[in-house]
Amino acid sequence: MRRPSTVEVMLLTTIGLWSLNLTVSRVILTHGFQPLAYASVRYGLAAVVVVSLALLVERSLRLHRRDLPLAAVAALLLYVNQLGFVSALDRTSASVLGLILGATPIFAALAGVALGTETLPSRFWAGAVLSFAGVALVALGSGGEVSGDLGGVLLGVLTAASWAGYSMAVTPLMQQYSARRISAVVLAGAWVPITLTAMPQVAGQEWGLGWEIWALLVFATLGPLVLTNELWFRSLDRIGPARATLASNLMPFLGAAIAVLLLSERLAPIELVGGAFIGAGILVARRRGTPRHPPSSVLGTCRRSAAPRWPRSPPRSG
């Protein structure tokens, strides 16, 4: 057997950390951390680390004035994404949320249609119908209180849709600035409304949760939120967005599998069928029409790929 290449190791590490984050965050939320308080503390710590690294390397976080509105939109969408993520995990299982997040590429493509940057063939719409049917089956199973509730499923859909919108908003910025700078600006910008929204929970939060929970929080911050940022964009630079994004589609289903194994969560048969529908929909929709405007490479350095391109997305923040 050949040894995995450096970029394969980086991609597998990134996907593994993203997948494990669902389980780690679920454990944190079921052991005393209130969801909004968790999001506020985690993003505050991440903002300190990412902003410090960006200032150390680039000496500036400055954006052109014309780009500030788009950065504000990206920060707002990231804020919505995080509120949806922690609230969904608080109300449903990590495995169910993992399956729902598998539909994120469909939402990203639909965002491209809404913005007029994508033309989609009938094959895509067939895949979209399959994926949304899968989400409906997952919701039906959760509505039976096997592994969560319908509200948690709807919050999971909000998480996937807001991430797709965030990805579309931040992509033009990453064609002009480094990923490190954009991550620092947008993440810090999102932390402010997250903390303002979380103030009632922060005020009532019990902080004596034990060193194990705090260690998990540090891991959830430095691993899935900070380290993956560097690994993901290094992978994009080496193999291009098409191949890297294809690998990232494994994350939701690997995340669901890890949650089932480590948390002993149960998925109803109908939820498993729903997950299969979501995956099948992604495969059917994979071959899509070309963008109306030729996409530039991320940060101006990504290699061109002959493979079909999905909307390029920044590292997952969940």
| pLDDT given for residue 138 in this prediction | 72
In-domain check, residue 311: no
In-domain check, residue 314: no
Q: Average of pLDDT values for 262-270? A: 78
| pLDDT given for residue 292 in this prediction | 45
| pLDDT given for residue 288 in this prediction | 45
| pLDDT given for residue 287 in this prediction | 52
* Chain centre to alpha carbon of residue 223: 14
In-domain check, residue 308: no
Top pLDDT among 28 and 173 is at 28
**Number of domains within the chain:** 1
In-domain check, residue 305: no
Top pLDDT among 175 and 192 is at 192
**Domain that residue 57 falls in:** 6-298
- Token digits of residue 60: 């500036």
In-domain check, residue 307: no
In-domain check, residue 53: yes
Give the pLDDT band (50/70/90) at residue 96.
confident
In-domain check, residue 230: yes
- Is 80 exceeded by the pLDDT of residue 257? yes
In-domain check, residue 29: yes
pTM equals 0.77
Query: Which span out of 99-103, 205-209, 314-318 was modeled with the highest average pLDDT?
Result: 205-209
| pLDDT given for residue 120 in this prediction | 67
Lowest mean pLDDT among 73-87, 173-187, 252-266: 252-266
Instruction: Output the CA–CA distances (angstroms, integers) from residue 275 to 35, 81, 224, in the order listed.
Output: 25, 21, 23
- Is 80 exceeded by the pLDDT of residue 171? no
| pLDDT given for residue 271 in this prediction | 72
Residue type, 30: T
Instruction: Output the CA–CA distances (angstroms, integers) from residue 76 to 69, 81, 190, 243, in the order listed.
Output: 11, 9, 6, 29
Q: Average of pLDDT values for 64-74? A: 93
- Is 90 exceeded by the pLDDT of residue 279? no
